[in-house]
């Protein structure tokens, strides 16, 4: 799985003008499934995201996890993370999982996250979404799980 993680002061996702998911302090997680991904890969991604120490402690060091700060997690599907921009000016997306697998793995990420963390919100798989965020730091971290 390919993921992009952003530490946020707040974030929300809208579909057709309606808010479908919103958090205050926490993490915005964009996820893209690849064809070889499995539910175990999705679970490892969630474990990493929940435990990654990227929130400041009392000394201002990145030493606290999402779970430590009791922050929110907003998960958004984004197949464009698999973009191939190597040939020409139009990106290709054949490295992304087919839609049925992508949806299943996105739902698995959400299931595991909701089992392990009390505040999980989500976008809508395959929808045209508007994502609003205030990046805190800014802190933006790419992740790749295999």
pLDDT digits (tens, 9 = 90+) for 39-74: 999 999 999 999 999 999 999 999 999 999 999 999
Determine whether 78 is an active site residue.
yes
- Rounded to the nearest integer, the mean pLDDT of the chain is 97
Class of domain 2-132: alpha beta
Q: Cα separation of 14 and 91, whole Å?
A: 25
> Is the peptide bond between 43 and the residue preceding it cis, with omega within 30 degrees of 0?
no
> Is the peptide bond between 22 and the residue preceding it cis, with omega within 30 degrees of 0?
no
Determine whether 38 is an active site residue.
no
Q: What is the DSSP letter of 98?
A: P
pLDDT digits (tens, 9 = 90+) for 65-77: 999 999 999 999 9
Determine whether 79 is an active site residue.
yes
pLDDT (0 to 100) of residue 87: 86
Q: Which helix (H) or strand (E) holds 68?
A: helix 66-69
Alpha helices in the chain (DSSP H): 39-51, 66-69, 99-116
Cβ atoms of 27 and 139 closer than 8 Å: no
| From 6, 30, 55, 78, active-site residue | 78
Best CA proximity match to 125, nearest among 27, 2, 20: 20
| From 6, 30, 55, 79, active-site residue | 79
pLDDT digits (tens, 9 = 90+) for 75-118: 999 999 999 999 889 999 999 999 999 999 999 999 999 999 99
* Percent of the residues in the chain that have a pLDDT greater than 90, as a whole number: 97
pLDDT (0 to 100) of residue 121: 98
């Amino acid at each position: 799985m390919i993921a992009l993680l952003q530490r946020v002061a707040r974030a929300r996702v809208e579909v057709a003008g309606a808010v479908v998911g919103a958090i205050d302090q926490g993490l915005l997680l964009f996820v893209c499934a690849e064809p070889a991904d499995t539910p175990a890969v999705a679970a490892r991604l969630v474990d990493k995201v929940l435990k990654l120490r990227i929130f400041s402690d009392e000394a201002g060091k990145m030493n606290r996890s999402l779970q430590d700060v009791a922050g929110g997690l907003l998960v958004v599907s984004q197949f464009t993370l698999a973009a191939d921009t190597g040939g020409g000016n139009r990106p290709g997306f054949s490295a992304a999982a087919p839609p049925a697998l992508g949806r299943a793995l996105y739902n698995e990420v959400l299931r595991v996250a909701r089992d392990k963390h009390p505040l999980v919100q989500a976008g809508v798989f395959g929808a045209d979404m508007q994502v609003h965020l205030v990046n805190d730091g800014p802190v933006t971290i790419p992740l790749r799980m295999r």
